[in-house]
């Protein structure tokens, strides 16, 4: 990662130490070095069960670290959520679908252990940005990942919110071809392949100035969900780019993009209003 990117993470994380929350660092959900997660718990939970938000960060399936996203945890802890941020193995150490399988193991761990911090395992909300949105969407769309770790997708993922996710692209650059190839396997990494109407509700968010991920990814996934009778909502923010959506989860929200408000309003909305 570039120096300016790391500086941006440092700036985003500076005020988080003022947020009243407890942190459980490096809880292992597997035996590999990167199979660890951090749990952020609001202060004064008063023994009541809280909703849980599991956030998968992006980084082209190649880079990123859970510590850089403390600002995401702080933002949603202030909204009353327990927040879990997992690391996962990345390319070139691994290729698809290993990072999705790591995501499933992390969700299984959360389902089994989050009651220790008064989290509600029946209300686990999955959120992701960019490559993390791709991982989260596959976990919501394809039930085999959670089934392989002994979990029922319909009981584990309450809903999903994706920020600028590459849900339906075809790899066309050498590293992406290596991550997801061979070509006959590409349908297995496209979220649209698995949509059958049984998926949990999905919220798809995108900035119209995004040059990293094409809008067609949102459009194709949204169309497929609607065709299959599932629950999906979307919002495209004007004058926002790929990084503005993740920046909107921090105090440094240049475009004043209401991502936090849209996500928190969405959680449970489809179930309350009925499938649409």
Please provide the DSSP assignment of 80-113 as one string. T-EEEEE----TTT--TTHHHHHHHHHHHHHHHH
Walk me through the domains of the chain, giving residue ranges and CATH numbers. Answer: 3-273 (3.40.50.1820)
| Burial class, 95, CB count within 10 angstroms (exposed 0-12 / middle 13-18 / buried 19+) | middle
Percent helix, percent strand, percent coil in the chain, to nearest 5: 40, 20, 40
Backbone angles phi, psi at 195, to 5 degrees: -75, 120
Q: What is the pLDDT of residue 272?
A: 52
Percent of the chain with pLDDT over 70: 93
CA 185/CA 240 separation, integer angstroms: 33
Q: What is the pLDDT of residue 270?
A: 62
End-to-end CA distance of the chain: 41
pLDDT digits (tens, 9 = 90+) for 225-260: 999 999 999 999 999 999 999 999 998 777 799 999
CB atoms closer than 10 angstroms to residue 148: 12
pLDDT digits (tens, 9 = 90+) for 255-271: 799 999 999 999 967 65
Q: What is the pLDDT of residue 4?
A: 55
pLDDT digits (tens, 9 = 90+) for 32-87: 999 999 999 999 777 789 999 999 999 999 999 999 999 999 999 999 999 999 99
6 or 188, greater pLDDT: 188
Give, as one character, the DSSP assignment of residue 172: -
| Burial class, 182, CB count within 10 angstroms (exposed 0-12 / middle 13-18 / buried 19+) | exposed
Find all residues with CB under 8 Å of 94, minimum gap 6, and list them. Answer: none
- Render the burial of 116-134: b for 16+ CB within 10 Å, e for the rest: ebbbebebbbbbbbbbbbb
For the segment 166-176, the average pLDDT, to the nearest whole number, is: 98
Q: What is the pLDDT of residue 202?
A: 97
Q: What is the pLDDT of residue 45?
A: 73
Percent of the chain with pLDDT over 90: 85
Contact between residue 12 and residue 250 where contact means Cβ atoms under 8 Å apart:
yes
Q: Which residue has the tokens 């990123």?
A: 64
């Amino acid at each position: 990662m570039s120096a300016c990117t790391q500086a941006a993470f440092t700036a985003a994380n500076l005020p988080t130490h003022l947020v009243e929350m407890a942190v459980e660092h490096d809880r292992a959900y597997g035996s590999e070095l990167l199979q660890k997660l951090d749990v952020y718990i609001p202060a004064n939970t008063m023994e009541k069960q809280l909703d849980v938000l599991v956030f998968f960060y992006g980084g082209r399936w190649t880079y990123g670290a859970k510590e850089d996203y403390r600002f995401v945890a702080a933002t949603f802890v202030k909204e009353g959520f327990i927040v879990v941020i997992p690391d996962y193995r990345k390319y070139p150490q691994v290729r698809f679908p290993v990072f999705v399988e790591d995501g499933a193991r992390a969700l299984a761990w959360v389902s089994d252990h989050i009651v220790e911090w008064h989290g509600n395992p029946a209300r686990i909300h999955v959120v992701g940005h960019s490559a993390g949105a791709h991982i989260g969407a596959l976990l919501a769309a394809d039930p085999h990942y959670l089934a392989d770790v002994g979990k029922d997708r319909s009981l584990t993922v309450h809903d999903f919110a994706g920020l600028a996710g590459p849900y339906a692209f075809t790899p066309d650059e050498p590293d992406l071809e290596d991550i997801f190839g061979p070509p006959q396997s590409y349908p297995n990494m496209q979220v649209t392949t698995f949509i059958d109407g049984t998926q949990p509700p999905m919220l798809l968010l995108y900035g119209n100035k995004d040059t990293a991920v094409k809008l067609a990814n949102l459009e194709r996934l949204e169309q497929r969900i609607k065709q299959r009778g599932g629950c999906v909502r979307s919002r495209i923010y004007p004058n926002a780019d790929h990084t503005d959506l993740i920046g909107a989860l921090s105090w440094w929200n240049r475009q004043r993009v209401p991502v936090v408000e849209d996500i928190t309003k969405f959680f449970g909305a489809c179930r309350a209003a009925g499938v649409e």
